[in-house]
Structure 1
Amino acid sequence: MTAYEAKLGLYIAGEWRSGEGRDTHDVLNPATGETLAPLPVATAADLDLALEATARGFSLWRATAPEQRAAILMKTAALLRERTERIATIATLEQGKPVAEAKGEIGLAAAILEFHAGEAQRIYGRVLQRPKGTRSMVLQQPVGPVAAFCAWNFPALNVVRKLAPALAAGCSVIIKPSEETSGCAIEVMRCFQDAGLPGDVAQMVFGVPDQISRHLLASPVTRKLSFTGSVPVGKHLMRLAADTMMRTTMELGGHGPVLVFDDCNLEQTLDTLVANKFRNAGQVCIAPTRFYVQQDIYERFAQGFAERTQRITVGSGLDPATQMGPMANPRRPMAINELVEDARNAGARVLAGGQPFASDAGFFVAPTVLADVPLTARAMNEEPFGPLALLTPFATPDEAIEQANRLPYGLAAYCFTENGRLQNRLGDDIEAGMIAVNNVRLSWPDSPFGGMKDSGYGSEDGPEGIAAHLVTKTFHMM
């Protein structure tokens, strides 16, 4: 077995703090169920120290020249690239995804850092027209210390998506990554530290999520909340944030509709969708999940999707032959199996998977395809967040659009058609923050990443990611 090399701890005021005198949380290997290492849990005193440090850090960092902030982000990106093999292995041991996927994630994280390094030097205001001898200016300034909370599914990328825009804007940050993938997050923070980021500017803490969020969001030091996670938790955090009127960016759950029309390139569409559906074992907020397929090609699509799914190799993410690893924690297989059984009882056809995975250890689920899934099935209404594809036929574009917009989610949607006029209509009418046509790529450093409706608001990445960390000030001189 590959050794787990992460050194776990809390990062507060530029120092790594061990578990001595603190409770710990066991970090597990999802491929085996075995404990990798104990993770220290922050105390209330630790959180107070982190708040004090981040207040000092904001005073320092907001006054740091943009080109200096940019240089540190660029150095961090370089270190991520240099340490890809080590960090990817730690991510796979903790989260389960194939190492190749983990390496791709780290590459995107480095690209996001590089993009934000450039944006740090392009934070512009404007001068307004006024009578001679007077001036009015609009200034963009950092909002203040940020409390950032992120999920376990992309342990390197999620951390960078929180830190990069905040640091580029001139904000300090306290970040709480997932305890389940803490080692990978810590390795990312070590890259920032080794790149020269002052210790008071970014803190990293772990512990009981509700206790940490209540403590940080109740403090007057914190001026912005950035959260990636589920809709219920996001709404809970927004309520806490309302008490101090802090700004929020919410990147919440989705239930990605896929509209497949009968003029698409069917074989290419199937190859693209099956590979993307089961990426990261389906544990992706933008995962294609509800497949609405025009009735003339529905049975051919269902057969082709099932055949490709049955060929997927499932196993340890450390095995180069593995195409899909385990789910990240023991809660997820149980949840997926319950959704499959409910859909089966409601009349869905099981075309692939659908039964407990044959493994003596680990948190594995078979890639599963269900056809003719009725709208009453739980999986058609609740985000599965797992390797579960739901297939349903449609007759007309109006029907497909209605089904795509039926749920309160509005994060990502996918459309496959060669009809340009229809593509434009889908772009106008589908209620989602991100739409991909004849492809599945939605994450780019220079484009905003975010949703609408219950999937949250605000954006990460792109110029919008930095804008979310700025406040507008108008300055009049007479």
Structure 2
Amino acid sequence: MTKHYLMHINGLSVGENLETLDITNPANNEIVGTVPVGGEAEAIQAIDAADESLEEWSGLTAYDRASYLKRFHQLMLDNQEDLARTMTIEMGKPINESRGEVKYAASFIEWYAEEGKRVYGETIPSHATAKRLQVWKKPIGVVAAITPWNFPAAMLTRKMGPALAAGCTIVIKPSSESPLTAIKMMQLCEEAGFPKGVINLVTGSSSKIAKAVMESEKVRKLTFTGSTEVGKLLIKQSAENVKNLSLELGGHAPLIVLDDANVDVAVKGVMASKFRNAGQTCICANRVYVQSGIYDEFVNKFAEAVKALKVGNGEDDSVDVGPLINESGLEKVNHHVEDAVNKGATIVTGGEAQTNDGGVFYTPTVIGNVDSSMVIMQEETFGPVAPVQKIESEKEAITLANNSPYGLAAYVFTENVAKGTRVIEKLDYGIVGWNDGAPSAAQVPFGGMKESGIGREGGRYGIEAFLETQYVSIGME
């Protein structure tokens, strides 16, 4: 019998009598759970609960809030396998990657449990003997968080960790493609003892829930991870009541391999970046630029490594690449590959869609002889396809890499420190991996330039997004 999951509002499981949405496993199209289709009424209920609990939660000491977060962190680790398997069956991620994501997600909770204790004010030297000038930090208020399907645990904790540590309360809207992991995490929050109303989760209609969030004067902050198109819409909607925004939007990451790079290191780096989560990550390498002196060697070694990847149902421990999230994702991958081939590119390995047991799969693919006229070099593919373009110089690499409206992540492989420094200084990207295909960590800033977003998540920068700066001038006469 299919399990019916419920929303989490004001410490209660709600939504039992609402219309339901089926959650399907993209590896076999089986229904793995159902969730309520909430809307404006449920969103308003959650916002009201968060608002009512704000005074109590923000009034706790940072140490008190940390104790709740630490309990939640430990519960996540204790329930790693259950969370990982839930993640795999609802969105297809290979089980070993899901296990890794649970640990990564928990690391944000652990980090911010401590970082909340390091929210410092400031005393400024006064211009008058009878005045004292101070800067105070205070929580921004009720926060709404809208999270994506591709990292259902980590994208949630990267938002809720700093929000809760700062003294904010939160309303969470997980993706309708993969809400089950977030719901199970809410159950762990309940077990950790968070006061009622501090953490709330609503599922259902994105447009109706977002409308309630954007129109509410009680919600002072929205943190969103998703497409640039939706991000632009949220920016327009935020103008009505000047709502504070943090936006982590689209990407189209370039990966540059220069002649003096260690080819084996570069291949390892692009494998780590490109094929994680079947290429469905916002910072994965989407276009690879390799200098002509090592182009052939790189492509040959890269293709051999890609051929060794095993595709299949993510529940199998030996699988490296799971399914795409849905048919729409497969259609986009097919379009990008077909367009490239029609314009003269060659498929080095892969290039085939697979339908196994009703699932949606695409063979890990390397495409050679690509150029900038091809759609795959202009748009984010979100699939396990790596186009490789031959370049002649670092100047050409910089020009091609920056020729994009996006500026989230980029990668550079070179053994020359001076060359690497020159190139990175000229790249318009918020995150750069230098001889590193996996730069993410809880303690570092994550975010993009240009149309890839506003603000930063992670590290000490992440908690600042949930704090207001208040200047206080104290008269001493």
Under a length normalisation based on structure 2, what TM-score does the superposition of the two structures give? 0.97
Helix, strand or coil at the partner of 1:341: helix
Aligned to 1:296: 293
CA contact (8 A) 1:159 1:188 kept: no
Assess if the C-alpha contact under 8 Å between 1:8 and 1:186 holds in 2. Answer: yes
* Matching residue within 101, 107, 116 for 2:103: 107
Between the aligned partners of 2:368 and 2:39, the Cα distance in structure 1 is 49
Contact 2:28 2:356 in 1 (8 A): no
Deviation at 1:441, TM superposition (A): 2.3
CA distance in 1, matches of 2:4, 2:421: 50
Write the distance in 2 (CA, Å) between the matches of 1:29 and 1:405: 37
Give me the whole-angstrom Cα distance separating, in 2, the residues matched to 1:268 and 1:397.
Answer: 19
Structure 1 consecutive aligned stretches of length 4 or more whose deviation exceeds 6 Å: none
Structure 2 CA distance for aligned equivalents of residues 292 and 374 of structure 1: 10
**Matched AA of 1:107:** K
Match runs of 1:199-210 below 5 Å? 199-210=196-207
CA contact (8 A) 1:292 1:392 kept: yes
Show structure 2 runs of 5+ residues with no match: none
Select the residue among 116, 119, 139 that pairs with 1:120.
116
1:382 aligns with 2:379: yes
Paired position in structure 1 for 2:335: 338
Are the equivalent residues in 1 in contact too, given 2:40–2:211 (CA < 8 A)?
A: no
Instruction: Supply the distance in 2 between the matched residues of 1:122 and 1:216 (Cα, whole angstroms).
Output: 30
Instruction: Give the secondary structure class of the aligned counterpart of 1:180.
Output: coil
* 2:6 pairs with 1:9: yes
Match of 1:324?
321
Of 82, 89, 113 in structure 2, the residue corresponding to residue 86 of structure 1 is 82
Tell me, yes or no, if the aligned pair for 2:428 and 2:449 is still in contact at 8 Å: yes
Code of the aligned partner of 2:282: C
Query: CA RMSD for the aligned pairs?
Result: 1.3
In structure 1, distance between residues paired with 2:190 and 2:232: 33
Structure 1 residues 134-167: Cα deviation after superposition (integer angstroms, max 9, x where no partner): 2111111111111110100011111111110100
Q: Distance in 1 between matches of 2:457 and 2:278?
A: 23
Identity %, equivalent residues: 38
Question: Which amino acid in structure 1 is aligned with residue 105 of structure 2?
Answer: A
What SS class does the counterpart of residue 245 from structure 1 fall into? coil
The alpha-carbon deviation at position 7 of structure 1 amounts to 5.3
Deviation for aligned residue 1:241: 1.2
User: What do residues 57-109 of structure 1 show as CA deviations (whole Å, max 9, x unaligned)?
Assistant: 21221111110111111111100000001110000000111111001111111
What are the equivalent positions in structure 2 for 1:132-211 lying under 5 Å apart?
Answer: 132-211=129-208
Unaligned runs of 5+ in 1: none
Note if contact 1:147-1:217 (Cα within 8 Å) is conserved in structure 2: no
Equivalent in the alignment of 1:216? 213
CA contact (8 A) 2:246 2:454 kept: yes
Partner of 2:450: 453
Letter aligned with residue 42 of structure 2? D
Q: TM-score, normalised by structure 1?
A: 0.97
Q: 1:419 aligns with which of 405, 416, 419?
A: 416
State the 1:132 CA deviation: 3.4
After TM superposition, the structure 1 stretch with the greater mean CA deviation from structure 2, 360-369 or 174-183, is 360-369
Q: 1:63 aligned to 56, 59, 64, which one?
A: 59
Contact preservation (8 Å) 1:81, 1:106: yes
Deviations 1:266-321 (A, max 9, x none): 12321331243111000000001110000011122112212211121000111111
Which secondary structure state, in structure 2, belongs to the residue aligned with residue 179 of structure 1?
coil
CA contact (8 A) 2:289 2:388 kept: yes
In structure 1, distance between residues paired with 2:233 and 2:179? 23
Q: Name 2:261's counterpart in structure 1.
A: 264
Could you tell me how far 1:348 is from its partner in structure 2? 1.1
Higher mean C-alpha displacement, 398-407 vs 124-133: 124-133
What corresponds to 1:19 in structure 2?
A: 16
Give deviations 1:336-377, integer Å, cap 9, x for gaps.
Answer: 111111111111111111122252410111111111112121
The farther-off stretch of 80-89 and 189-198 is 189-198
| Alignment deviations for residues 196-225 of structure 1 (CA, whole Å, 9 cap, x no partner) | 111211110011111111111111111011
Say which of 353, 356, 364 aligns to 1:356.
353
Query: Structure 1: how far apart are the matches of 2:241 and 2:407?
Result: 27
Contact 1:315 1:322 (8 Å CA) reproduced: yes
Deviation of the 1:44 alpha carbon: 2.5
User: Does residue 1:235 correspond to 2:222, yes or no?
Assistant: no
The 10-residue stretch of structure 1 (303-312 or 414-423) with the greater mean CA deviation from structure 2: 303-312
- Write the distance in 2 (CA, Å) between the matches of 1:7 and 1:461: 33
Say if 1:219 and 1:334 are closer, same or farther in 2 by CA, change over 3 A. Answer: same
Whether the aligned pair in 2 keeps the contact of 1:352 and 1:369 (CA below 8 Å) is yes
Counterpart in 2 of 1:465? 462
Deviation at 1:385, TM superposition (A): 1.1
